[in-house]
């Protein structure tokens, strides 16, 4: 598919000039439309002159037959209809094509933006820019050429009027400078109001989006009325912005529309007096009044045009805010693909802190973390909540870049390899899996769209998902609801595991990937994973003791760094912090008791029982 042009990157250009590359892509369509528009305009300007000649020669002087002028007027009407239809179709098509290009560019850019961008922007803001703002730009592009043609018709009509009578022309245009001044005042007042209106519409979209996606939370707390009140408050702010805009237009638009009519009144009075005195032909007075109507059109539309232009400008600048945001994570100029990785992973003195929405760095989440995984080794990363376990999982596939230190795969810094090859090599299953609103089979095959149904079913079986999938109304062809919310949390996690297994990456990151799955199903999944993980480098973010049993080695993270590593038995025997951490995992004793080689290393309970009110149960 041919790449669509991007907006001009020079931020110093005006908003419409930045769209020039997209408009230039359709230059042939634009050229044909403009030629057709000029011809249609010429026929429009010729009509009053033909009418004037018909009145003066055929009706007043009776020196020529009327039917000849009728034929000419009919021909002009047909010609205008054909060419007007041509240029209107062309200009509207141009506007919609540019809208498509702009929407495609915005979406493509959104896919390139890094996680840090989405951490600080609301989803409603993104949706508003991708829909309402782009539509505002499209509407301006559709109507602006038509209005520009009316401006051209103004000058053509003015030129013809000057050839008829200079005094009448001056009377006709005398009020127009006042219209221009009113238009400037209206523009200056409408633009900030339009920006506020667009921003508040985005806030409204955010409230609606959050309440739809979080409907289960809202209902579980019986918070419908509170959320409706929040929506009403946001809508009230939108109402204020739109009402104030309408009020501003109501103050100026009627004056702008009716000032030119004063000139028409003066022309009728003075022109009629000239006709009576014989200094002006009646046909010229009729034509003159038709031309006055033509020169009034741009000014009568000026209020609408200014509102449209200011809204488009505000919308374009909001769109450019996104398009001008550079991706934080990009391929280095000398990046090379990661080919057939063995899976050796090294975290070397890694330090990292998240960036707040205001642009300030937060406290360090990882502070000098060092950890190595040999090819094919499985390591469980355990630690208290907030210790940085999930951050480690996000840094390995380079969802974020480290602030200090490095992460290497097979000796290559992840910042020096291409993103596509890195993320193809590193598979991640998160604790909150996301499913698309498509079939179960399509969700599983997301990483390998070309996979056969047999391969999809095999991956689902390994993730212990085949049983519940085949029980669905349409089996693997069942469409899951938005975000997969028609399925249980455990079912979504099993589909996400199947999706990862089908993609078959050499390095796996399991971020509490079985947290929503019951113990019996989890055990069956682990039995499958024991075989499937063989020979794969696997980083297991563990919150369950049963998950730790999958690992060859355990790494304890505390304060953003690795404080101890070893087998589970070694850490239980030598590391008090590890034992204290495990003592607070509720299901640990029950699951470990059934885990071969684990129960034997559980020491007897200390005097006084366990911390945290766990009674006499000890890991």
Dump pLDDT digits (tens) for 284-318. Answer: 788 877 887 777 777 666 667 777 888 888 888 88
CATH number of the domain encompassing residue 377? 3.40.50.300
Q: What is the mean pLDDT of residues 141-154?
A: 80
**Do residue 389 and residue 475 come from a single domain?**
yes
pTM of the model: 0.68
**Do residue 414 and residue 529 come from a single domain?**
yes
**What is the per-residue pLDDT across 531-544, written as a single tens digit (0 to 9) for each?**
667 778 989 887 77
Instruction: Answer yes or no: is 236 within a domain.
Output: yes
Per-residue pLDDT at 531: 66
**What is the per-residue pLDDT across 16-30, written as a single tens digit (0 to 9) for each?**
888 888 888 888 998
* Mean pLDDT, rounded, of the chain: 80
Per-residue pLDDT at 437: 80
Per-residue pLDDT at 216: 56
**Do residue 100 and residue 33 come from a single domain?**
yes
Q: What is the mean pLDDT of residues 588-612?
A: 37
**Do residue 267 and residue 384 come from a single domain?**
no
**Highest averaged pLDDT of the listed ranges 97-106, 114-123, 168-177, 486-495:** 97-106
Per-residue pLDDT at 285: 80
**Do residue 318 and residue 352 come from a single domain?**
no
* Confidence grade of residue 375 (pLDDT, cut at 50, 70, 90): very high
**What is the per-residue pLDDT across 337-354, written as a single tens digit (0 to 9) for each?**
988 888 899 999 999 998
Residue 243 has pLDDT above 50, yes or no: yes
Of 323, 357, 387, the one marking the end of a domain is 323
By DSSP bridging, strand 412-413 and strand 404-409 are antiparallel
Among 329, 277, 300, 63, CA closest to 176: 300
* Contacting residues for 299 by C-beta, under 8 A, at least 6 apart: 176, 179, 256, 257, 259, 260
CA atoms of 438 and 456, how far apart (whole Å): 15
Chain centroid to CA 580: 45
* Contacting residues for 568 by C-beta, under 8 A, at least 6 apart: 548, 549, 551, 554, 598, 601
**Do residue 316 and residue 364 come from a single domain?**
no
Of 323, 357, 372, the one marking the end of a domain is 323
Sheet holding 426-429, edge to edge: 426-429, 507-511, 537-541, 378-383, 553-558, 561-566
Instruction: Answer yes or no: is 338 within a domain.
Output: no
CA atoms of 52 and 60, how far apart (whole Å): 11
**Do residue 239 and residue 365 come from a single domain?**
no
Q: Render 114-154 in DSSP notation, one character per residue.
A: -HHHHHHS-HHHHHHIIIIIHHHHHHHHHHHHHHHHHHHHH
CA atoms of 48 and 27, how far apart (whole Å): 33
**Do residue 511 and residue 599 come from a single domain?**
yes
Of 258, 292, 323, the one marking the end of a domain is 323
Instruction: Answer yes or no: is 10 within a domain.
Output: no
**Number of independent structural domains in the chain:** 2
**What is the per-residue pLDDT across 528-581, written as a single tens digit (0 to 9) for each?**
666 667 778 989 887 777 778 778 899 999 989 999 999 988 999 999 988 888
Per-residue pLDDT at 501: 86
Residue 60: DSSP 8-state = I
Per-residue pLDDT at 351: 95
Per-residue pLDDT at 517: 60
**Do residue 298 and residue 349 come from a single domain?**
no
**What is the per-residue pLDDT across 425-484, written as a single tens digit (0 to 9) for each?**
998 887 777 888 888 999 899 888 898 999 999 989 888 888 889 998 899 998 887 777
**Do residue 316 and residue 357 come from a single domain?**
no
Per-residue pLDDT at 381: 92
Residue 511 has pLDDT above 70, yes or no: yes
Residue 591 has pLDDT above 50, yes or no: no
Instruction: Answer yes or no: is 475 within a domain.
Output: yes
**Do residue 25 and residue 85 come from a single domain?**
yes
CATH number of the domain encompassing residue 264? 1.20.1560.10
Instruction: Answer yes or no: is 464 within a domain.
Output: yes
Instruction: Answer yes or no: is 13 within a domain.
Output: no
In percent, the amount of the chain with pLDDT more than 90 equals 15
Instruction: Answer yes or no: is 9 within a domain.
Output: no
Instruction: Answer yes or no: is 159 within a domain.
Output: yes
What domain range includes position 221?
19-323
* Confidence grade of residue 407 (pLDDT, cut at 50, 70, 90): very high
Per-residue pLDDT at 300: 65
Q: Render 501-531 in DSSP notation, one character per residue.
A: HHH--SEEEEESTTTTS-HHHHHHHHHHHHH
**Do residue 440 and residue 533 come from a single domain?**
yes
């Amino acid at each position: 598919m041919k790449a669509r042009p991007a907006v001009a990157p020079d931020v110093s250009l005006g908003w419409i000039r930045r769209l020039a590359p997209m408009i230039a892509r359709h230059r042939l369509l634009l050229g044909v439309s403009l030629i057709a528009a000029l011809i249609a305009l010429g026929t429009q300007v010729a009509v009053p002159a033909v009418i004037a000649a018909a009145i003066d020669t055929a009706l007043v002087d009776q020196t020529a037959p009327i039917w000849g002028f009728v034929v000419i007027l009919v021909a002009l009407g047909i010609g205008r209809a054909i060419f007007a239809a041509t240029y209107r179709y062309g200009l509207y098509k141009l506007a919609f094509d540019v809208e498509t290009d702009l929407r495609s560019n915005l979406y493509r850019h959104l896919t390139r933006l890094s996680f840090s961008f989405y951490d600080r922007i609301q989803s409603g803001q993104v949706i508003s820019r991708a829909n309402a703002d782009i539509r505002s730009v499209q509407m301006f592009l559709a109507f602006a050429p038509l209005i520009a043609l009316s401006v051209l018709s103004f000058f053509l009509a003015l030129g013809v009027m000057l050839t008829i009578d200079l005094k009448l022309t001056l009377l006709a245009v005398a009020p127009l400078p006042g219209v221009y001044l009113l238009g400037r005042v209206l523009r200056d007042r409408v633009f900030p109001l339009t920006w506020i209106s667009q921003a508040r519409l985005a806030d409204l979209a955010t409230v609606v989006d959050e309440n739809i996606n979080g409907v289960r939370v809202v209902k579980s707390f019986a918070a419908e009325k509170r959320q409706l009140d929040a929506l009403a408050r946001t809508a009230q702010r939108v109402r204020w912005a739109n009402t104030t805009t309408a009020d501003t237009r109501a103050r100026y638009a009627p004056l702008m529309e009716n000032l030119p009519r004063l000139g028409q009144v003066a022309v009728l009075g003075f022109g009629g007096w000239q006709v009576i005195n014989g200094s002006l032909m009646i046909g010229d007075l009729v034509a003159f009044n038709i031309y006055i109507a033509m020169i009034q059109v741009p000014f009568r539309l000026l209020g609408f045009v200014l509102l449209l232009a200011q809204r488009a400008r505000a919308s374009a600048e909001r769109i450019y805010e996104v398009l001008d945001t550079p991706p934080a994570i990009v391929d280095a100029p000398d990046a090379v693909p990661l080919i057939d990785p063995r899976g050796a992973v090294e975290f070397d003195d890694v330090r990292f802190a998240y960036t707040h929405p205001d642009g300030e760095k937060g406290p360090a989440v990882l502070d000098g973390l060092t950890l190595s995984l040999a090819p094919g080794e499985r390591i469980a990363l355990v630690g208290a909540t907030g210790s940085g376990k999930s951050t480690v999982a996000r840094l390995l596939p380079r969802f974020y870049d480290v602030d200090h230190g490095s992460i290497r795969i097979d000796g290559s810094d992840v910042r020096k390899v291409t993103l596509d090859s890195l993320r193809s090599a590193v598979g991640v299953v998160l604790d909150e899996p996301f499913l698309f609103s498509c079939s179960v089979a399509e969700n599983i095959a997301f990483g390998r769209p070309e996979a056969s149904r047999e391969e999809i079913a095999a991956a689902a079986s390994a993730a212990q998902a085949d049983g519940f999938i085949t029980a669905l109304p349409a089996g693997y062809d069942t469409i899951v609801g938005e975000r997969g919310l028609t399925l249980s949390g455990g079912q979504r996690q099993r589909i996400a595991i199947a999706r990862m297994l089908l993609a078959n990456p050499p390095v796996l990151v399991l971020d509490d990937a079985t947290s929503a799955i019951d113990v019996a199903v989890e055990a069956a999944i682990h039995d499958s994973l024991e075989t499937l993980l063989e020979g794969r480098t696997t980083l297991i973010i563990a919150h369950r003791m049963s998950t730790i049993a999958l690992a060859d080695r355990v790494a304890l993270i505390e304060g953003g760094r690795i404080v101890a590593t070893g087998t589970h038995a070694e850490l239980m025997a030598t590391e008090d912090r590890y034992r204290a951490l495990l003592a607070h995992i509720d299901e640990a004793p029950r699951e470990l008791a059934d885990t071969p080689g684990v129960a034997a290393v559980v020491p007897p309970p200390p005097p006084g029982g366990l911390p945290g009110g766990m009674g006499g149960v000890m890991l």
